[in-house]
Structure 1
Amino acid sequence: MEYKHDQRPSFIYTYASPDEEISLCQLEMRSFFGADAPPNLFRSKIGIDPSRSPFIRERIEVIYEGDSVAEIVEQVDQIQTHDMTFKVIYVKTNDLEPSQKIEFDEARVIERELGWHINGEADVRKPDYVFGIVTLGGRWYFGNYRKSKTVWLQHQKKPRSYSIALPTRVARAAANIAVPHPDGVKAIDPCCGIGTVLVEALSMGIDIVGRDINPFIARGARENIAHFGYDCEVALGSIADITETYDAAIIDMPYNHFSRITSEGQFSILQHARRIASKVVVIANEPMDEMLTSAGFTIADHAVARKGSFSRHIIVCL
């Protein structure tokens, strides 16, 4: 495919989250993009695969922009798809006022008008290229469209599981918060349980290893990882035995009412985490500010994910 444009790379994202995970969603957005995201959709110079996030729904890599659909139509004449087919999608998520809302029939008209001006063959079923058009902030944007694939939903069907394991959405977000940009980053989950975080991290290409002190649980983690076609080391042993250092660690802290661990045991885990990693994402059922500070951490960010009366605190520590 060929096209001409003078724009620096930029992207339009749409996203959504359930009310109980808004805080977690915004923490993930800050980790990816360096700032809270405006509601529903936003523009960024940072390119993130939308399938990484449990909250991002779509991404348009901007090729053309203008003040009206007519300006976009004039520009798409430059696109040459050669022998490849294409499809144009009007993105429904936008910031238009209710009185300006574009209804279904008008959206189809916009798609067809753009399609008529693109040099190529349209195919709405299995196109080689998918383009998207969206309006944001009073301007229109057109470009390569990518829809998020809900990979984490497939990971819910693990051969080994237990009731207090992290939900896959929370695990995936935690992996992204710990390692938003994976190139050259080495990570560890030193209390990995059945490998929920490991599976999510591995599915996104994050370089990560795991460890657990319980031999039965460690075997379950290895089985779950292999079940989804991934591979990584899951060592048996305590976090205290780790001698290597890592760029990031993710710790789903054992909870007092779900395990026999004492507050002293939790503190020891945090001390060792501080020793082995420069950035640690801690997941706990309650705030741990005092304990984290005593362990030598600075709390850089914080979110809460709720499910009924139960809360999980996701704490970014440096």
Structure 2
Amino acid sequence: MLTYYFITNKENIQLARDEAIALITAYNPNAEIISKERLLIVNSNKDLKQVWDRAAMLRYAGRSYDKVDLKTFACKVINLTDNKLDQRYYIDKFVKEMNLKNAKVSLNNPDVVFGIIIADKEYRCILLSKNNKKLLKLHKHPAELVNKLAILMINLSGVIEDEILLDPCCGTGTIIMYASYMGINSIGCDISMKMCNYTRDNLEVNNLSASIINCDSTRLPIKRTDVMVSNLPYGRASSTYKRDSKELIKQIIDECNMARRIVIMCKEGDEPEYIKSYTIYVHSNLRRKIVICR
């Protein structure tokens, strides 16, 4: 049994927690999760490194350890309290208690980075390194999702490797690209052949593959998907083809009723019935809703 420590960003703690919990329960439904504001402590009999690699809104992640054989190390104090701390005190105490006198400090390329988390009490862990990359895009669009939000929405759906994700309004393919990169079987649809070709090009430049279909999202030729994740059109920069955006969203969701989880982004006022919703500031004057419909 391992204990993992996941620490969220400050910007939207509830959304960050929900993203992490969706991933944790997807990879291990039996994991024990203890939530302490920005800190999630998780006891798991399965590896949860994928949670850290995929998460868009986690700041740090670490795991428990027994004995550590190392020649070099570094320490990082992570202060989750409102108090100003003497970091040197915690580092010196840690080094003394761990008997690390024979190991050398290396800030450039240490064998291990220890995390000293100060919250309701002191927690110690080995900080995990992150395996991810920013994908390339040959084609862009003014209304496309930023990478971080695309990753966040995929993660909120709880989809994992070898399952199927459908984006019925894929545009230039940001969601499809990152889902494919995560090892998820991805299907992208768009009413615009131009957007379909853009998505294919953006996949190809990253050596990724997905099924891209030119079709109307209210009449999908799709029989099965595990989740639906999409930035749905709202009528200005992303065209609804002269259809009412709120009614169009309802039709698309009805068309995707085979999905166990539906996560969409839409403009405020267009939200369908939902389990949870979050307000996202795309920039200072533009707000959107991320909605978990089921």
Tell me the TM-score normalised to structure 1 length.
0.75
Deviations 1:237-260 (A, max 9, x none): 233132321110112111123313
Which one of 156, 164, 189 corresponds to residue 186 of structure 1? 164
Deviations 1:92-123 (A, max 9, x none): 2333x52xx43343355346436643876664
Q: Does 1:283 align with 2:265?
A: yes
What letter is aligned with 2:203? I
Which one of 11, 22, 30 corresponds to residue 31 of structure 1? 22
Q: Does 1:143 align with 2:125?
A: yes
Cα separation, 2, equivalents of 1:31 and 1:214:
32
Cα separation, 2, equivalents of 1:254 and 1:36:
38
Q: Does 1:314 align with 2:280?
A: no
Q: Does the 8 Å contact 1:254/1:261 carry over to 2?
A: no
Cα separation, 2, equivalents of 1:229 and 1:110:
48
- Please name the residue that 1:272 is paired with: 255
- Please name the residue that 2:6 is paired with: 13
Q: What is the DSSP-based 3-state SS (H/G/I as helix, E as strand, rest coil) of the residue aligned with 2:172?
A: coil
Q: Does the 8 Å contact 1:24/1:173 carry over to 2?
A: no
Q: Does the 8 Å contact 1:185/1:207 carry over to 2?
A: yes
- Please name the residue that 1:50 is paired with: 52
Q: How do residues 135-284 of structure 1 correspond to structure 2 at under 5 angstroms?
A: 135-138=118-121, 140-148=122-130, 151=133, 154-155=134-135, 158-179=137-158, 182-183=160-161, 185-239=163-217, 240-258=219-237, 259=239, 260-263=241-244, 264-274=247-257, 276-284=258-266
Q: Does the 8 Å contact 1:88/1:133 carry over to 2?
A: no
Matched residues, number: 277
Cα separation, 2, equivalents of 1:265 and 1:280:
15
Task: Give the fraction of aligned pairs with identical amino acids, expressed as a percent.
Answer: 17
Change (3 A) 1:23 1:116: closer
What letter is aligned with 1:203? Y
Q: Does the 8 Å contact 1:115/1:122 carry over to 2?
A: no
Q: Does the 8 Å contact 1:191/1:211 carry over to 2?
A: yes
Deviations 1:108-165 (A, max 9, x none): 5346436643876664432344333323322x333331144673xx33x521101110
Cα separation, 2, equivalents of 1:246 and 1:236:
17
Change (3 A) 1:121 1:170: same
Q: Does the 8 Å contact 2:164/2:226 carry over to 1?
A: yes
Q: What is the DSSP-based 3-state SS (H/G/I as helix, E as strand, rest coil) of the residue aligned with 2:139?
A: coil
- Could you tell me how far 1:24 is from its partner in structure 2? 4.0
Higher helix share: 1
Q: Does the 8 Å contact 1:59/1:146 carry over to 2?
A: yes
Whose Rg is larger?
A: 1
Unaligned runs of 5+ in 2: 26-32
Cα separation, 2, equivalents of 1:104 and 1:131:
13
- Could you tell me how far 1:37 is from its partner in structure 2? 5.3
Q: What is the DSSP-based 3-state SS (H/G/I as helix, E as strand, rest coil) of the residue aligned with 1:242?
A: coil
* Alignment root-mean-square deviation, CA: 2.9
- Please name the residue that 1:303 is paired with: 278
Unaligned runs of 5+ in 1: 1-7, 65-78, 294-298
Tell me the TM-score normalised to structure 2 length.
0.80
Q: What is the DSSP-based 3-state SS (H/G/I as helix, E as strand, rest coil) of the residue aligned with 2:171?
A: coil
Deviations 1:289-316 (A, max 9, x none): 5xx35xxxxx221111012221111111
Cα separation, 2, equivalents of 1:128 and 1:62:
16
